[in-house]
Amino acid sequence: MSQPASALAPVARFDADAVAKLSALRRTKFLATAALALCVLIFAVAKSFEGRFAWLGFVAAFAEAATIGGLADWYAVVALFKRPLGLPIPHTAIIPENQNRIADNLGRFIEVNFLAPEPVREKLAEVDFSALVADWLSDADRAAGLSRFVGRLVPQTLSAIEQSGLRGFVTSRMLE
């Protein structure tokens, strides 16, 4: 007795964004496969009629190169992630087999080249923050907006200082 198809495969639930991405991926795969098939068809037709029309030799050469290039690209991309055609070909499925090592190396690279104090310091030294702020404030609308924001912020800050007892603390420390 066979089981229903729903019992054989887990049901995956995707949000609208994931469904749209899967749909776009399927469409792209279909277009790539159709382009490859079209190149094979053009090659076959051009080779068949090359005897009658010599110029079809150029078309056949173009289609042959496109077919070989398409197959090479397909193999290269597929071989990174899995075994093409399910065959145990050496040097394939590189990413799944080395996922942890790749992640460690990528993490180390980011840490050393982007997050270490020295590269960050060098990048920050390249930026003229005062010029950026001055340029930003040179726009009258931005300057007015900042002025309104500070105008609202100062009374709120003073009120918070008064309510928290911070004013008394600071005053007593200053008088000591």
Structural domain boundaries in the chain: 17-92, 94-127, 139-171
User: CA dist 135 to 7, 24, 139, 151, 163, Å?
Assistant: 64, 42, 7, 21, 37
For residue 8, what pLDDT is reported? Answer: 56
For 2, list phi and psi in degrees, rounded to 5.
-90, 150
Q: Which residues contact 40 (CB under 8 A, 6 or more apart)?
A: 63, 67
Rounded CA-CA distance 55/163 in Å is 90
pTM: 0.51
Q: Which residues contact 46 (CB under 8 A, 6 or more apart)?
A: 56, 57, 59, 60, 63
For residue 170, what pLDDT is reported? Answer: 77
Q: How many CB atoms lie within 10 A of CB 45?
A: 14
For residue 13, what pLDDT is reported? Answer: 78
For residue 39, what pLDDT is reported? Answer: 97
Give the DSSP H/E element, type plus range, for residue 71: helix 56-81
For residue 3, what pLDDT is reported? Answer: 54
Q: What is the maximal distance between C-alpha atoms in the chain? A: 107
For residue 4, what pLDDT is reported? Answer: 55
For 130, list phi and psi in degrees, rounded to 5.
-65, -40
Rounded CA-CA distance 153/145 in Å is 12
Instruction: Name the amino acid, one letter, at 101.
Output: R
Rounded CA-CA distance 105/101 in Å is 6
- Distance spanning both ends of the chain, measured CA to CA: 91
For residue 50, what pLDDT is reported? Answer: 95
**pLDDT < 50 regions, the chain:** 1
DSSP-based three-state secondary structure for 96: helix
For residue 5, what pLDDT is reported? Answer: 52
